[in-house]
């Protein structure tokens, strides 16, 4: 099980990227225990935005787990992303209540407009289209979560308007 | 903390609340937040400040008030008037008219004597929409943690289990296993360490009951868990909650911190020998993790794949130790049972299904939202009295309960009492409490296909019947909905359903065919209309279009 190259406590990343130090805090909090893998991956994704291979290798070494286990867990759960997100996210709820109230029609309209399927990011890297199982705001069906804000009682038109708005905003320079 | 100190906290809080002339409660649960209740709160604060009333009126956020479709909701506590669709403008008006002049603002007022309110019975949700979910003092002021104090100072663990057993409480996660019996098994199981888990991985699409309870009354769950921990002899509890519920996670983290600060969690609670800690475990989006053995694996940091039972988690659970797993709503029922006694609880509902059940009412219905009714009320009461009938005004067609594991109840069974046994007789299940209403525009084949697509995606892939069977069933449904299927395909579909149901490893696969089976049972004509060919197979002479099933 144990990787011979593992150090006893996390010692940062050779690249000197400070974000790894943040991650080390979570790893230390759970005493580098293997059963904290999901918590550590949550923290990693929160810090880095997505889980790239290098990051998974780092986590595997820090928790003394085989990389296959870490990769297996990261791919098993929908919440973990192995690819970067677009600038904006459009999460369409496909829960039963939203479905009954016409989420499928919105899905089709958005996919046609963006020329990209849900689960992908548009070619210009502007918008990631994501499907959610249920965001639990069934009273407002159909619902989408647009950049972390819930938009309820959508129609194809209002959804497309929001998409167009996101497309027209200039790319923000991340400081 | 001692029992006397607990009462002191309660008295202090009651006195604090009395200092205010009015308390304005706005709903800060997810549904109303997405309707803009933050702007409502700001508008209240601003206009109160303008009038110089901000010292006399308290504005506070509470849990779900029920009518999620009409948010943001606001309650003026002194006379219990409830307002709907309170935007910034309406908020200003309520301050000017109601609070200053004492005249209610009629256009936003909700009639609280309407059947939506009068047909309900609130036990689990009694504090939701009444107290500030982020304040432990408010929970204590309405009698919170009294039940835990009673258990630790007056009752033996066996007496606690006996009280819960006598109350007739059954698991609210869907299967309905008697809670007291489960507690008894875990308490007798041998192990150096015992664990306790609250399953808050509310994965059914269309269900938001657990979320609302966790957001509106988090301490109720902590108290229920601590009582269960005392009863079975566990010192460590986990709450396994979905990552999709950020607000609930935040509130729980805060609640745990508050309880630890007051010594209601931690070591030597109420100066007894009982130590209890609760930690959160955040799920990562896998429906199968609602299945208890998969959930255990996920807490251990591994892929959430179920394993065969027995051994049951009550004997070999987390890290091989005896583990009690109950649903959020089950724990929420514990404190009232201890406080008011098992006879009181058993008197609600039906003899076999005691207590109440929370439902998340959604779909094509007028009053979407969160409701709580005594077990055994007819479906008609829920849909028409409380729900107000279909949104479109067209005929009610079916209610879907139990999510992807449940079934559709057609209109012939509107008078069916809603309890565990009755729902099972018509091929559905109680489930965790999602209830989706469909009117005559809903296409049942599409509904079945929707659920099967869900199960197909969420199958963990461990056992073949579920992994392969769900794909095939989905393919057949797709073929039927595209009018390319024959009678043979329909027969094959039914056969697949039985195979997957009988041979799958865990509950996900075993119940995955339920939506198909129940729609086939009640709406078979809709399937048959879509078949491309009549019953008899006639070989086509031109070889065109007739043997599409090939």
Domain edges within chain A: 19-76, 88-168
Please give the pLDDT value at position B119. Answer: 93
Question: Rounded to an integer, what distance in angstroms lies between the CA atom of residue B220 and that of residue B142?
Answer: 11
> And the tokens for B419?
């309890």
- Selected for mutation to probe chain A from B284, B369, B390 (highest A CB count within 10 Å) is B284
> And the tokens for B402?
């139990």
Contacts of A73 in chain B (CB under 8 A): 301-303
pLDDT digits (tens, 9 = 90+) for A56-79: 999 999 999 999 999 999 999 988
B443: distance to nearest CA of chain A, Å?
9
- Selected for mutation to probe chain B from A46, A92, A97, A146 (highest B CB count within 10 Å) is A97
The C-alpha R_g of chain B, in whole angstroms, comes to 25
Please give the pLDDT value at position B544. Answer: 53
Question: Rounded to an integer, what distance in angstroms lies between the CA atom of residue B210 and that of residue B124?
Answer: 10
Which residues are paired to B89 by β-bridges? none
What average pLDDT does this structure show over A28-36? Answer: 94
SS (H, E, C) B323-351: EEEEEHHHHHHHHHHHHHCHHHHHCCECC
HSE-up of residue B119 (Cα within 13 Å, Cβ side): 20
A136: distance to nearest CA of chain B, Å?
5
A69 in B contact zone (CB under 8 Å): yes
Contacts of B287 in chain A (CB under 8 A): 133
- Matching residue, tokens 């800690």: B277
DSSP-derived 3-state class of residue B155:
coil
> And the tokens for A117?
């399927």
Which ipTM value was assigned to this complex? 0.87
Does the beta-carbon distance from B34 to A35 stay under 8 Å?
A: no
B62, B40 contact by CB (below 8 A):
no
What is the enclosing helix (H) or strand (E) of B93?
helix B88-94
Residue of A nearest to B441 (CA): A100
A94 in B contact zone (CB under 8 Å): yes
A148: distance to nearest CA of chain B, Å?
10
Please give the pLDDT value at position A5. Answer: 45
Does the beta-carbon distance from A136 to B245 stay under 8 Å?
A: yes
CA quadruple A116, A118, A124, A127: dihedral, nearest 10 = 140
Q: Where are the beta strands (DSSP E) in B222-320?
A: 236-241, 277-282
Does the beta-carbon distance from A101 to B364 stay under 8 Å?
A: yes
Least CB–CB distance from A140: residue in B35, B303, B451: B35
Residue of A nearest to B204 (CA): A134
Question: Rounded to an integer, what distance in angstroms lies between the CA atom of residue B392 and that of residue B330?
Answer: 35
A143, A150 contact by CB (below 8 A):
yes
B445, B519 contact by CB (below 8 A):
yes
Does the beta-carbon distance from A77 to B363 stay under 8 Å?
A: no
Question: Rounded to an integer, what distance in angstroms lies between the CA atom of residue B508 and that of residue B501?
Answer: 9
Contacts of B243 in chain A (CB under 8 A): 42, 79
What average pLDDT does this structure show over B99-115? Answer: 91
The structure's pTM equals 0.91
Residue B434 falls in which region: left (phi positive, over 0), alpha (psi -120 to 50) or beta = beta
Question: Rounded to an integer, what distance in angstroms lies between the CA atom of residue B523 and that of residue B477?
Answer: 14
B213, B207 contact by CB (below 8 A):
no
Question: Rounded to an integer, what distance in angstroms lies between the CA atom of residue B186 and that of residue B48?
Answer: 54
Neighbours of B502 (CB within 10 A): 11
Top-confidence residue, B261 or B538? B261
Q: Which CATH class is domain A88-168?
A: alpha beta
Peptide bond into B310 cis (omega under 30): yes
pLDDT digits (tens, 9 = 90+) for B152-210: 999 999 999 999 999 999 999 888 999 999 999 999 999 999 999 999 998 888 888 99
Top-confidence residue, B174 or B6? B6
Question: Rounded to an integer, what distance in angstroms lies between the CA atom of residue B196 and that of residue B72?
Answer: 36
For chain A, the first-to-last Cα distance in angstroms comes to: 41
Give the count of Cβ contacts less than 8 A between chain A and B: 135
Least CB–CB distance from B300: residue in A35, A42, A140: A35
> And the tokens for B443?
């296409």
Contacts of A134 in chain B (CB under 8 A): 203-208, 244
In chain A, residues 14-53 whose CB comes closer than 8 Å to chain B: 33-39, 41-42
For chain B, the first-to-last Cα distance in angstroms comes to: 74
Distance of CA A162 to the CA centre of its chain: 20
Question: Rounded to an integer, what distance in angstroms lies between the CA atom of residue B514 and that of residue B509?
Answer: 10
**How many secondary structure helices (H) and strands (E) does chain B include?**
23, 14
Question: Rounded to an integer, what distance in angstroms lies between the CA atom of residue A65 and that of residue B11?
Answer: 52
> And the tokens for B158?
């066996």
Top-confidence residue, B392 or B155? B155
- Selected for mutation to probe chain B from A100, A119, A150 (highest B CB count within 10 Å) is A100
Q: Where are the beta strands (DSSP E) in B52-185?
A: 57-62, 74-76, 81-83, 109-110
From the list B198, B216, B33, the residue with the least C-alpha distance to B122 is B216
Confidence of residue A6 (pLDDT cuts 50, 70, 90): very low
CA quadruple B248, B254, B260, B266: dihedral, nearest 10 = 30
- Give the percent of chain B with pLDDT over 70: 97
B39: distance to nearest CA of chain A, Å?
14
**What b/e sequence results for B245-258 when a residue is b if at least 16 CB atoms lie within 10 Å of its CB, and e otherwise?**
bebbbebbeebbeb
B212: distance to nearest CA of chain A, Å?
9
Question: Rounded to an integer, what distance in angstroms lies between the CA atom of residue B72 and that of residue A9?
Answer: 49
pLDDT digits (tens, 9 = 90+) for B482-539: 999 999 999 999 999 999 999 999 999 999 999 999 999 999 999 999 997 655 555 6
Residue of A nearest to B31 (CA): A137
Contacts of A101 in chain B (CB under 8 A): 363-364
Structural domains in chain B, sorted by start: 17-114 (3.40.30.10), 143-346 (3.40.50.11540), 356-439 (3.10.20.600), 444-530 (1.20.1440.230)
Does the beta-carbon distance from B362 to A99 stay under 8 Å?
A: no
Confidence of residue A2 (pLDDT cuts 50, 70, 90): very low
A163: distance to nearest CA of chain B, Å?
18
Domain A19-76: give its CATH architecture.
Orthogonal Bundle (1.10)
Neighbours of A123 (CB within 10 A): 9
From the list A77, A81, A162, A157, the residue with the least C-alpha distance to A126 is A162
What DSSP character marks residue B169?
Answer: -
Does the beta-carbon distance from A135 to B244 stay under 8 Å?
A: yes
Neighbours of B307 (CB within 10 A): 14
B544 burial type by CB count under 10 A (0-12 exposed, 13-18 middle, 19+ buried): exposed
Neighbours of A126 (CB within 10 A): 17
**How many secondary structure helices (H) and strands (E) does chain A include?**
7, 4
Please give the pLDDT value at position B435. Answer: 92
DSSP-derived 3-state class of residue B66:
coil
A78 in B contact zone (CB under 8 Å): yes
Contacts of B281 in chain A (CB under 8 A): 38-39
């Amino acid at each position: 099980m144990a990787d011979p190259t593992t150090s006893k406590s996390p010692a940062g990343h050779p690249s000197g990227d400070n974000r790894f130090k943040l991650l080390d805090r979570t790893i230390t909090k759970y005493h580098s225990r293997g059963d904290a893998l999901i918590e550590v991956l949550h923290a990693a994704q929160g810090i880095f935005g997505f889980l790239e291979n290098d990051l998974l290798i780092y986590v595997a070494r820090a928790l003394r787990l085989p990389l296959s286990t870490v990769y297996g867990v990261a791919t098993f759960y929908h919440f973990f992303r192995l690819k970067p997100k677009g600038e904006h996210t459009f999460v369409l709820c496909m829960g039963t209540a939203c479905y009954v109230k016409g989420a499928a029609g919105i899905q089709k309209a958005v996919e046609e407009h963006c020329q990209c399927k849900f689960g992908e990011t548009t070619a210009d890297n502007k918008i990631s289209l994501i499907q959610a199982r249920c965001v639990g705001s069934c009273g407002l069906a159909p619902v989408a979560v647009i950049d972390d804000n819930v938009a309820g009682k959508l129609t194809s038109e209002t959804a497309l308007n929001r998409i167009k708005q996101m497309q027209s905003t200039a790319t923000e320079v991340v400081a | 903390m001692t029992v006397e100190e607990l009462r002191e906290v309660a008295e202090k809080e009651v006195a604090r609340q009395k200092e205010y002339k009015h308390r304005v409660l706005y709903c800060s649960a997810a549904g109303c937040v997405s309707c803009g209740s933050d702007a409502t709160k700001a508008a209240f604060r601003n206009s109160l400040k303008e009038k110089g009333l901000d010292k006399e009126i308290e504005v506070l956020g509470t849990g779900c008030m029920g009518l999620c479709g009409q948010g943001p909701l606001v309650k003026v506590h002194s006379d219990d008037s409830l307002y709907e669709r309170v935007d910034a403008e309406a908020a200003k008006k309520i301050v000017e008219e109601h609070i200053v002049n004492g005249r209610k603002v009629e256009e936003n007022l909700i009639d609280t004597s309407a059947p939506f309110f009068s047909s309900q019975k609130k036990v689990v949700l009694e504090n939701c929409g009444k107290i500030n979910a982020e304040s432990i003092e408010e929970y204590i002021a309405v009698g919170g943690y009294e039940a835990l104090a009673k258990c630790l100072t007056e009752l033996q663990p066996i007496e606690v289990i006996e009280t819960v057993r006598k109350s007739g409480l059954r698991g609210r996660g869907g299967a309905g296993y008697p809670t007291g019996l489960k507690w008894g098994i875990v308490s007798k199981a041998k192990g150096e360490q015992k664990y306790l888990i609250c399953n808050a991985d509310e994965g059914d699409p269309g269900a938001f009951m657990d979320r609302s309870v966790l957001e509106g009354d988090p301490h109720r769950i902590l108290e229920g868990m601590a009582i269960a921990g005392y009863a079975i002899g566990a010192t460590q509890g986990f709450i396994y909650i979905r990552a999709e519920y950020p607000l609930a996670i935040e509130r729980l983290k805060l609640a745990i911190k508050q309880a630890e600060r007051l010594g209601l969690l931690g070591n030597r609670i109420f100066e007894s020998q009982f130590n209890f800690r609760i930690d959160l475990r955040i799920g990562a989006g896998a429906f199968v993790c609602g299945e208890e053995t998969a959930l255990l694996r996920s807490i251990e940091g591994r892929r959430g794949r179920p394993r065969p039972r027995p051994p049951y988690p009550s004997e070999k659970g987390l890290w091989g130790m005896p583990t009690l797993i109950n649903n959020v709503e089950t724990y929420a029922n514990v404190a009232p049972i201890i406080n008011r006694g098992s006879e009181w609880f058993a008197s609600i509902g039906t003899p076999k299904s005691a207590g109440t059940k929370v439902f998340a009412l959604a779909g094509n219905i007028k009053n979407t939202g969160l409701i709580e009714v005594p077990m055994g009320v007819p479906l008609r009461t829920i849909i028409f009295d409380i729900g107000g009938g279909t949104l479109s005004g067209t005929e009610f067609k079916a209610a879907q309960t139990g999510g992807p594991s449940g079934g559709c109840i057609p209109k012939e069974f509107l008078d069916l009492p809603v309890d565990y046994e009755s729902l099972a007789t018509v091929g559905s299940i109680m489930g965790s409490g999602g209830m989706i209403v469909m009117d005559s525009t809903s296409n049942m084949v599409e509904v079945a296909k929707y659920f099967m697509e869900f199960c197909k995606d969420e199958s963990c892939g461990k056992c073949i019947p579920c992994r392969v069977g769900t794909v095939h069933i989905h393919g057949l449904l797709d073929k039927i909905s595209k009018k390319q299927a024959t009678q043979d395909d329909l027969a094959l579909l039914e056969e697949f359903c039985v195979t997957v149901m009988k041979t799958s490893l865990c509950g996900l696969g075993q119940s995955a065919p339920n939506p198909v089976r129940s729609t086939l049972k009640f709406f078979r004509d809709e399937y048959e209309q879509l078949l491309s060919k009549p019953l008899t197979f006639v070989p086509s002479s031109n070889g065109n279009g007739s043997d599409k099933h090939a």
